[in-house]
Amino acid sequence: MDFDLSTKYAKNSLRIDSSEMSKICAVAAKNKITVSLGFSENDGGHSLYIAQCTIGADGEMKMRRRKLKPTHMERTMFGDASGASLNNVVDTPVGKVG
């Protein structure tokens, strides 16, 4: 498998204006629930942010914020683990968990 993990992480980080975020908002409205969502935000440029938003039961984003300064551990994406650490997905009654 040949890929740059940080590039893959950035690509899979959530954009505020994405169809995925729209779906989350629509599900909140459909189920009349309030959602507090913490996520890795991709601003569409060259930055990622530790972000949070609150989506109201009407499906509207009520609040969004970015963490001002990531802490040491958040700036460190990867540790010194072996490849064997990747073989940890198991079947459970609710599906695959890893």
**pLDDT at res. 73:** 56
Residue 27: band (very low, low, confident or very high) from pLDDT cuts 50, 70, 90: very high
Is 34 within the bounds of a domain? Answer: yes
Mean pLDDT (the chain, rounded): 75
Domain boundaries, position 9: 1-62
For residue 54, report the phi and psi dihedrals to the nearest 5 degrees: -120, 125
Q: 45: closest CA among 16, 72, 4?
A: 16
Q: Is the pLDDT of residue 21 over 80?
A: yes
Is 33 within the bounds of a domain? Answer: yes
Is 95 within the bounds of a domain? Answer: no
Q: Is the pLDDT of residue 53 over 70?
A: yes
Is 14 within the bounds of a domain? Answer: yes
Is 91 within the bounds of a domain? Answer: no
**pLDDT at res. 5:** 73
**pLDDT at res. 93:** 54
Is 88 within the bounds of a domain? Answer: no
Is 70 within the bounds of a domain? Answer: no
Q: What is the pTM of this model?
A: 0.68
pLDDT digits (tens, 9 = 90+) for 4-15: 777 888 889 899
Is 49 within the bounds of a domain? Answer: yes
Number of domains into which the chain is organized: 1
Q: What pairing do the DSSP bridges indicate for beta strands 95-97 and 90-92? A: antiparallel
Q: Please give the share of the chain, as a percent, with pLDDT higher than 90.
A: 24
Q: What is the mean pLDDT of residues 78-91?
A: 44
Q: 34: closest CA among 14, 54, 63, 64?
A: 54
Using DSSP's 3-state secondary structure scheme, residue 79 falls into: coil
Would the CA dihedral through 38, 22, 65, 72 be positive or negative? positive
